[in-house]
Amino acid sequence: MRHLLFLHLLGASVWVGGHLVLLFGVLPKALRQRDPQPVRNFEQIYERIGIPALLIQIVTGLWMASLWLPHAQWFGATPAAQLIQAKLVLLGLTAALGVHARLALIPKLDAQRLPQLGAHIVLITLTAVAFVWVGAGFRFGGLF
């Protein structure tokens, strides 16, 4: 469990940290200059680290969830089950945002669509931070 949690926290650092850098460090400059290139450059470098980090989150997260509760109880009403459900909802949102960005936004990215990409980056960063909030809930026995 300790090694799983260690990997989970390492992956969380990369996933959340990367998106915060993108949102606060890269996006404002791109919007100011009306140029999507800085975002593209960042994505190109970050992708190689971010996607493996997300995969690690999924594997270690599901693994720890099955240590917290047997699968049959994941959809019950206990606090741990609700936290697992919240993680799965966030994972669904992350996947939907990712697919939408890859298929609909990034291929046709230009100056005009940059604000749309910006809104998207805000949403994915919020889901990343929400993952951490929900994660901390396991230690405190609930979402709030």
* Contact positions vs ligand HEM (CB under 6 A): 5, 8-9, 12, 15-16, 54, 57-58, 61-62, 64-65, 68, 84, 87-88, 91, 128, 131-132, 135-136, 138-139
Query: Measured from the CB atom, is 66 or 116 closer to ligand HEM?
Result: 66
Burial class (CB in 10 A: 0-12, 13-18, 19+), 47: exposed
- State both tokens at 35: 């140029």
Query: Measured from the CB atom, is 106 or 132 closer to ligand HEM?
Result: 132
Angle at Cα 10 formed by Cα 61 and Cα 53, nearest 5°? 65
Query: Measured from the CB atom, is 79 or 118 closer to ligand HEM?
Result: 79
Query: Measured from the CB atom, is 9 or 45 closer to ligand HEM?
Result: 9
45, containing H or E segment? helix 37-68
CB of 85 to ligand HEM, least distance (A): 9
Measure the CA–CA gap between 103 and 98, rounded to whole angstroms: 9
CA distances from 16 to 10, 33, 40, 66, 112 (A): 10, 25, 18, 24, 27
- Collapsed DSSP state (helix, strand, coil) of residue 132: helix
CB of 47 to ligand HEM, least distance (A): 15
Which residue shows structure tokens 């404002």?
Answer: 28
CB atoms within 10 A of CB 26: 18
Query: Measured from the CB atom, is 15 or 36 closer to ligand HEM?
Result: 15
